[in-house]
Amino acid sequence: MGEGKGEGAAFTLAEGATHVGNCANYRKSAFTLAEVLITLAIIGVVAAMTIPTLVANYQEKSWGTAATVFERKLTEAMRVMNANATLAGHSTTESFVNELAKNFKTTKICANDKLQDCFSSEVTYGNEVVDMTKVKKAKHFGQDEWGTEIIGTQFANGTTALIAYNPKCSQDPYSNTITGSDCLAILYDTSAGKTPNVSGKDLRANGNVQSLGGSSCAFEIDGTCFGMPFQANSAHTWNACNSSTYTSTDAEDQAYMQKYGLDYCYPGDDYFAKAAETCGGTSKMAQLSDLATIANYLYDTDIVGEKTDNGSNYDGNTIAFNPTKGSSLGFPSPSFWVWSGEEGSSAKSSAHVRDFYSDDTVWNYDARNRSGGWAVCLGD
């Protein structure tokens, strides 16, 4: 019995020894406090580096989406007004905005002397901080000839806006294409007055906002000042453009050509001419070299030239359109094209453009009666 107990005791101790040994091995494989703290520190550093970028990308995308939705709803509302013959004929911006509110759900309209009840008192437009309390009339949007006051509006979707109306607004109740793009200059904020209130981000404008309180620079690249991009969906109609020579002997046509630096006309809807008019002349539109500058910025490259085609489809260079940068400047996602201020010399019915695709950008020229293009004015 003593021997048996001794053997049992020895066996028990052996098991205990083995068990203690396993615990020791387990403790050695666990993380120490120092290791845990170092790991947490690394995670914190990585998070600090990546989260702001992710948040910024999300904000850029949300601003762009909100702007696209707002512009679509505004266009639909103005098409309805055109069909109902209520788009034109207003002598004041207030009259127009009250009519617009019947077709685009609005929560608040702010009179000219209470604009800051609807809009921020300070915004950043391009590189300039603008005191919005001094922006009161259409001339403060660069529309000296309109003579109308600005009215503030809060739309039901959360967007706030300042609107100036053009009393010479065009209208054709029988047309399904008129969007009223020549009827108003509108500066709008998709974040309803919250920060950052910066042009190209939450702050957007249509092409008729040629300047803001004296500032015409919506963004700057390599020292060149550009206005806010706009879609050229409105056309100029000539009185007597010759379809063979693309010139006109009509006095009114000639005066228009001289005023806006045009060498040729087009016998029909001329979207290029209207884009030139919006910018104040062909010389005030972005030229092919300027569009190359914009392309290099949007594709994160420096290989695009004034008349150089670059991209995977042309010379083997792989480039990609940066949608975040595009949205920040006010451009849509590709594909889109932009008029330059250069008319075609051999093909007089056309003007030079630059096409922007997801993996390619090409200089080209398009017929002046082609709608859907974009344009960018040069700032001062």
Instruction: Using pLDDT thresholds of 50, 70 and 90, give the confidence band for residue 277.
Output: very high
- Report the sign of the C-alpha dihedral through residues 4, 9, 13, 18, in that order: positive
162 closest CA partner among 142, 196, 189, 200: 189
- Choose the weakest-confidence range: 157-161, 169-173, 219-223, 307-311: 307-311
Percent of residues, the chain, with pLDDT higher than 70 = 88
Whether the pLDDT of residue 108 is over 80: the answer is yes
Q: What is the pLDDT of residues 188-239, one digit of tens each?
A: 999 987 889 998 889 999 888 988 987 778 888 988 989 888 888 889 999 9
Measure Cα distances from 124 to 17, 180, 189, 193 in Å. Answer: 75, 27, 12, 12
- Tell me, what's the pLDDT at 17? 47
pLDDT at 309: 77
CA dist., res. 326 & res. 222, Å (int) = 16
Rounded CA separation 219/199 (Å): 8
- Return the higher-pLDDT residue of 58 and 208: 208
First to last CA, the chain: 109
Mean pLDDT for 365-374 is 93
Strand partners, 161: 153, 188
Where residue 40 falls among pLDDT bands split at 50, 70, 90? confident
Instruction: Tell me the C-alpha distance between 221 and 207, whole Å.
Output: 19
pLDDT tens digits along 309-328: 776 555 556 789 998 888 88
254/20: higher pLDDT: 254
pLDDT tops 80 at residue 49: no
Q: Is residue 8 scored above 60 in pLDDT?
A: no
pLDDT recorded at residue 362: 92
Q: How far apart are CA 58 and CA 349, in angstroms?
A: 42
Across the beta sheet with 184-189, the strand order is 106-110, 150-155, 160-165, 184-189, 203-205
Predicted TM-score (pTM) of this structure = 0.64
Q: Higher confidence at residue 11 or residue 351?
A: 351
